Chain A
């Protein structure tokens, strides 16, 4: 690709990211919902996966050849729904039913609630085991698909996550790619104050994973990193994506615990949408 196509590609991705942020914030506003900061922190990752990296079939969502995405940090389902709608898996109008009575989109994403939602999750520390089970079958049945999974940093507190990390490393699941949305804020404080994950890269390495650390808001870095998978033959790949909780959302909540809980106010909505239009 020459520089010009690269730039126009980037512009497109930025446009999708902006639209998805708008949808996330609208869902949070309408449903008076929590869990917005962690949805905003992985927008670029999700856009890059669904628009550039993963093989997906929006009109044939269960096509066996597809790459699977296991969205383990399912409390941030707003971003999953918004990106699936933006990619054409279902009508954007359905996003209006997020967390609403009788709506189709539960606060924590549920298997097949909409095409493209691969698993039910919500209790932390479950997604990586399921992803590893899928990847294991992919290996033994010699399938070409890859399994991507998005973890929160908070769910790396869970012992079950580390059981799955141990398992995937031991079985050399190099068709499994984990991306940790490392926004460094969990439910009730900063990870470093609650249960420090550092040295995080070393931990994954010592469990036989190949690790890359990137800026999770840079399309350039995300795509460059995920363009060549696995990072190493015979090893599962993990991306520690340094991100900012609440990125691109109401300024008052950026990198604050409040981004996990507070739905946007009328003023914040006005601020964000007017900025976008200007």
Chain B
């Protein structure tokens, strides 16, 4: 996802000289080509994320389009107040890019896990939030971000995420994408677990479930219509995300369903409300949080059949 993002950024930076990449001292083996091509549109801000967000706000006031980049927790939490006051409250054209969604940095330990970013950022008025689920979505989300005037948060995984989409997709701010349609259950997913949701849907189809699978790369604004249609069309809705079950995609979908008075059976599948005490690879960490393929399929069975 990082590479896809930087490729698209590279293309835009050629034409749009207002683009200015700021990094919190990260980007080894990602930004080298960009730096070489656009030395005047790049600055390493050092390990100073608060200043990075504030300087970005100042640059945006002077008509630049700064993109601030770091690992998700550092570029959303360390500097949250700067994002709130300097960027969002002033409605400035700053893009925030967080890498390492979920357990992408699994072995590094809790400090580097991106599990709360969507939850806290969703509270900020005017901020668009994208959590693309594969390289194809990442490319389109990057494009949409750079074309949008106003603050955007782009949540990226790291490397090696497989493509989920087999055919061209229509990526629109505020719209979900139906990957396949079905009538038994709806599975809504985003970001680094989209592929897992796709796998789970395939497993369930073998057991004669008819699965409506929706990718939701635009978390804010959220596609309420697609959620409510799913609630009418299928008997249960499941959200799957590599984020705390509090505040993320699942919460956003729950808000829509609850306010609409929908009686549909609903379950959030995500990282439980606990600090994970073990460390290990992304897959190991997922398993420790009931997010392996088998565990997810089992949870869906148990919920649906009860």
A residues neighboring B (CB under 8 Å): 110-111, 118-123, 125-126, 128-138, 140-141, 159-160, 163-164, 166-167
Contact = CB atoms under 8 A, between A and B. Distances in A.
B54 A160 contact: yes
22 contacts: A119-B61, A120-B85, A120-B86, A120-B89, A121-B85, A125-B50, A126-B54, A126-B81, A129-B54, A129-B57, A130-B54, A130-B58, A130-B61, A132-B51, A132-B58, A133-B57, A134-B59, A135-B58, A137-B62, A164-B51, A167-B48, A167-B51
B53 interface: yes
Contacts of A121: 85
Given A119-B90, A120-B86, A163 B48 contact: yes
Contacts of B56: 133
B215 interface: no
B250 to A, nearest CB: 31
A130 B86 contact: yes
B62 A129 contact: no
B264 interface: no
Interface secondary structure of B, over-half rule: helix
A132 B85 CA distance: 16
Contacts of A133: 54-62, 66
Contact of B86 (A129, A137, A141, A167): A129
A133 B92 CA distance: 13
Contacts of B66: 133
B156 to A, nearest CB: 24
A224 B104 CA distance: 57
Interface of B: 40, 43, 45-46, 48, 50-51, 53-64, 66, 81-82, 85-86, 89-90
Nearest to B63: A137
Nearest to B91: A111
A160 B58 contact: no
Interface secondary structure of A, over-half rule: helix
A207 to B, nearest CB: 13
A164 B45 CA distance: 10
Nearest to A159: B50
Instruction: List 9 A-B pairs, minimum CB-CB distance, nearest first.
Output: A133-B58, A129-B54, A163-B51, A133-B55, A137-B62, A130-B58, A160-B50, A163-B48, A134-B58
A61 to B, nearest CB: 14
Contact of A137 (B45, B58, B82, B89): B58
B81 A129 contact: no
Contacts of B54: 126, 128-130, 132-133, 160, 164
Given A119-B90, A129-B55, A167 B45 contact: yes
A248 B40 CA distance: 48
Nearest to B48: A163
Given A110-B89, A122-B85, A160-B50, 16 more contacts: A118-B61, A126-B54, A126-B82, A129-B57, A129-B82, A129-B86, A130-B55, A132-B51, A132-B58, A133-B56, A133-B61, A137-B59, A137-B64, A138-B62, A164-B54, A167-B55
Contacts of A136: 43, 55, 58-59
A135 B46 CA distance: 18
Nearest to B85: A123
Contacts of B48: 163, 166-167
Contacts of B61: 118-119, 130, 133-134
A161 to B, nearest CB: 9
A121 B90 CA distance: 10
B86 A126 contact: yes
A132 B61 CA distance: 11
Contacts of B46: 166-167
A111 B54 CA distance: 14
Nearest to B40: A140
Contacts of B51: 129, 132, 160, 163-164, 166-167
A121 B61 CA distance: 14
Given A132-B51, A159-B50, A167-B48, A126 B85 contact: yes
Contacts of A126: 54, 81-82, 85-86
Nearest to B64: A137
Contacts of B57: 119, 129-130, 133
Nearest to B53: A129
A191 to B, nearest CB: 21
Which one of A119, A136, A163 has the highest number of Cβ atoms from chain B below 10 Å of its Cβ?
A: A163
Given A119-B90, A140-B40, A160 B82 contact: yes
